[in-house]
Each structure stands twice: as C-alpha cells, then as structure tokens.
Amino acid sequence: MNAAVQEAVRGYTAAELIDYERYEARADELAASYRTSQPYPHLKFEEFLVPETARELARQFPIEANDHWIRYRHVNENKASTDRWEDFPPGIDALIREMNSPRFLALISRITGIEGLLADPDIEGGGMHQSWTGGFLNVHTDFTMHRQNPSWRRRCNLIYYLNEDWNPGWGGALQLWDSRMKESVQSVECLLNRAVLFNTPRALHGFPDPLTCPDDRSRKSVQWYYYTVDAKPEAHPEATTYHARPDESMAKHLAVKLDNLALRAYSSVKRRLGIRDDAVSRVMAKFAGKQH
C-alpha cells in the first residue's frame, strides 16, 4: 500500500493530528525541561494534538469494553485495555500509527536524549486504556522487557488523555512518586488533549484512589511504550511491580506484596506457555461478571 492510499484509508494526515513544527522548533527547550523535571525525567504537554482532532478522537473512543478488551481486576488495579489494531476506531488507529512514525520517534529521541528508540509495532500492553467508577491503578514501576523481543529494553512511556469535560474531583490524576516511595511529587490531571512523557525504568506512578466518576463516564487514555535494543541483553522485569503508599495499612502492604508474587509467577508461566492476557481475561470475566 503506497503512502497516499494509506493516508486515504486512515482518513487523517500527520498535519491534522500534530503540529510538528511547534514541537521541533522548541525541541532543545523541551529536552532541558524533561531532563530537570522531578521526581524523574518527564514532560507534560498541553494541547498535545490539533484541538479539533482531539475532540473528534474523544468522541470515537468507546465507553464500553467488548470481549476483546483485557480486564485487569486484582488487588493492585481495576481497569481494562486493548492493544488489538482491530479494536481501534479510525482516528485512534491513525494516532497510534503516527506516534510510531519515524518523524515522531526522532522528536521523542531529541526530547528524552535516548538514541536508537524503537516503536513497538505490536503496541504490547499499550493502545487504548480505560477505567470506570471504582477503577484504580496502584503506584507501580513498569515491566521493561518486551515479551516477543527479550533484547528490547523499554525506555519511555507516552500517555495521552481523551477525557472531555472531566471533573478533577472524580480522581484519575497520574501521580509521580519519589524513588523512596515517600511522597507524590507531581500530579497530572487526566484532561482532554493532555499528554505526559516519562522515562520508564524505576518510574513510580499510578492513580491509586478509586474513581468517583458517573457510571456513564470513564477515564480514557492511549498509551505507547518505546524501546531500545540492549548491546548486552540482560534480565529485565517481565512484570509490573506495585507499591503500597506509606500511609496505607499493614494489611494493604502485605496484600500488595502477595499480589506482586502472584503476578511474577503468572508472567513467567505466560511467557513459557505462550498464554495471552486476553484469553485469561475472558475466562475471569465469566466469574467476575461483565460490567462494562
């Protein structure tokens, strides 16, 4: 498929999605801000995409999760996601492809200072994410080893929010915690057309307080993970590691630790047997009910 036909199929040109010139002209300034941000390198973008396009993408994002969505329901999180290309509406599909494009990778590399960044064509673990009332994601550090490419090391995350008319009182702000898990240093509200980029390894982040949004609303985001190839591959975390907050009970601390052990065991079995999360999710949904 040539480029012109592909653009016609997608329905969006790069210029309709993102103002590259705006960011490329300020790349050095953005890089300096990224490097000096606390508690770890990160950058918050306001009006990340062309505003009219952002509103259209928010309208395309589904409020319900079909059977292909993976439902994460355990001690440390209550949310759902899908990384299947077939599930993406046209605008989301175009956005994900553009954020995987060589031009965008070059921009992210300039801002982060990370050379040789790779986009994940399978967007494993990325794609569309959402949580409904009662949903949460405990503070955690992410896995860094790609399941299909063990020599790939995950280096940075990009999270883009599509929550139009979101009331911050409903919760959902992304908390960035210090390395000792003593306090939340930054908080990023999950508002429409806002994005946050941050280094992945050892970055403690999450939205641990359950959402209180109305039943007909959800916290929506689109996520990308970028990698580099290790010259000397070494073991990297295969599973996300969660942390309880310092003011939470001993029982909560114990539950979080036990859940981490279970998740590591599951991750190991999944890799060895080739099990996918979506298959497990469908089985568990039969027991947990199909709300949302």
285 pLDDT tier (thresholds 50, 70, 90)? very low
Round to whole Å and give the CA distance between 12 and 88. Answer: 14
**pLDDT given at position 288:** 46
pLDDT tens per residue across span 217-251: 999 999 999 999 986 656 556 678 999 999 999 99
**pLDDT given at position 161:** 98
Report the alpha-carbon angle 173-141-268, nearest 5: 130
**pLDDT given at position 147:** 79
Burial 96-116 (b: 16+ CB within 10 A, else e): bbbbbeeebbebbbbbbebee
269 pLDDT tier (thresholds 50, 70, 90)? confident
Instruction: Name the pTM for this structure.
Output: 0.90
Residue 264, pLDDT above cutoff 90: no
> Which residue did the predictor score with more confidence, 145 or 36?
36
**pLDDT given at position 145:** 84
**pLDDT given at position 167:** 98
> Which residue did the predictor score with more confidence, 235 or 71?
71
Measured in whole angstroms, the distance separating CA 180 from the mean position of its chain's CA atoms is 23
Q: What number is the average pLDDT over the span 209-220?
A: 97
Q: Quote the mean pLDDT of the chain.
A: 89
In the structure encoding, which two tokens stand for residue 112, read together? 């982060």
Q: Residues of the chain with pLDDT > 70: what percent? A: 86
Residue 131 DSSP SS3: strand
Residue 69, pLDDT above cutoff 90: yes
**pLDDT given at position 24:** 98
Contact 154, 237 (CB under 8 A): no
**pLDDT given at position 143:** 87
Q: What number is the average pLDDT over the span 1-12?
A: 48
4 pLDDT tier (thresholds 50, 70, 90)? very low
pLDDT tens per residue across span 152-166: 999 999 999 999 999
Q: What number is the average pLDDT over the span 50-65?
A: 94
Residue 215, pLDDT above cutoff 90: yes
**pLDDT given at position 237:** 60
Residue 150, pLDDT above cutoff 90: no
Q: Residues of the chain with pLDDT > 90: what percent? A: 77
Domain ranges of the chain: 3-288
Nearest residue to 142 (alpha-carbon basis) of 132, 129, 219: 129
User: Which residue has 């918050």 as its token pair?
Assistant: 44
Cα four-point dihedral sign 210, 213, 214, 216: negative
Q: What number is the average pLDDT over the span 244-271?
A: 89
Give the largest Cα separation in the chain, rounded: 59
CATH 2.60.120.620 fits 3-288, yes or no: yes
